[in-house]
Chains A and B, each alone.
Chain A
Amino acid sequence: NAGVIQTPRHKVTGKGQEATLWCEPISGHSAVFWYRQTIVQGLEFLTYFRNQAPIDDSGMPKERFSAQMPNQSHSTLKIQSTQPQDSAVYLCASSPGLGGRLEQYFGPGTRLTVL
């Protein structure tokens, strides 16, 4: 099992540019989560899909952030008009979501740096 795959591992953008982050969940997992990690704020929940449907996006900054899950094998997080405060490690996680198994398995993260 390859685990959760995230690409790219590192991304550098200029202020105002767009960034798209990719996540491939563990095969057979029905839930996908996105989190953001910074030194100051720690780990923050962004959004959650179950069986590809958006369930909870309460952590997403509304104006520039969007997430999609077009099929069961990948999810994307898009940040438009990136700002320096968007610099963080973005973590994707997947969960079996079935049979009472609630644990989340994390990918290695994408480190986004906005200059």
Chain B
Amino acid sequence: AQSVTQPDARVTVSEGASLQLRCKYSYFGTPYLFWYVQYPRQGLQLLLKYYPGDPVVQGVNGFEAEFSKSNSSFHLRKASVHWSDWAVYFCAVFLTGNTGKLIFGLGTTLQVQP
């Protein structure tokens, strides 16, 4: 069955340090993948999207992600974390066909230490 796994419920990094949030997907077919960010009491904001093509995609605020078919992964990275990046990050896979829905991971909470 299609699924998304974010193995780290919480990640803590120091401000200015680099970041990687992990995402593994299970999907039969060509995946379309997304990362969303959720700030407290807000909806989800689209960070970046992967449509089949270049495996490294750029997003907003310096985020990028790399797709790996062999590893079934779509990890999120940022070179230098800012305190304002403290939020919950969700990875999602889009189910093609007639459904059109997103399957989400459970999310990773990023905490930023000063």
Contact = CB atoms under 8 A, between A and B. Distances in A.
B43 A108 contact: yes
Contacts of B94: 102
A97 B113 CA distance: 40
B100 A56 contact: yes
Given A100-B51, A102-B32, A103-B34, A45 B46 contact: no
A26 interface: no
A46 B98 CA distance: 15
Contacts of A106: 36, 43-45
A59 B95 CA distance: 14
A7 to B, nearest CB: 13
B90 interface: yes
B114 to A, nearest CB: 27
A105 B46 contact: yes
B98 A55 contact: yes
Given A48-B100, A56-B101, A109 B43 contact: yes
Contacts of B99: 48, 55-56, 58
A100 B96 CA distance: 11
Nearest to A6: B43
A22 interface: no
A12 interface: no
A29 B99 CA distance: 16
A25 interface: no
Interface of B: 32, 34, 36, 41-46, 49, 51, 90, 92, 94, 98-107
Given A42-B105, A42-B106, A43-B92, 11 more contacts: A31-B100, A43-B90, A45-B103, A50-B100, A55-B100, A102-B51, A102-B94, A104-B34, A104-B102, A106-B43, A109-B43
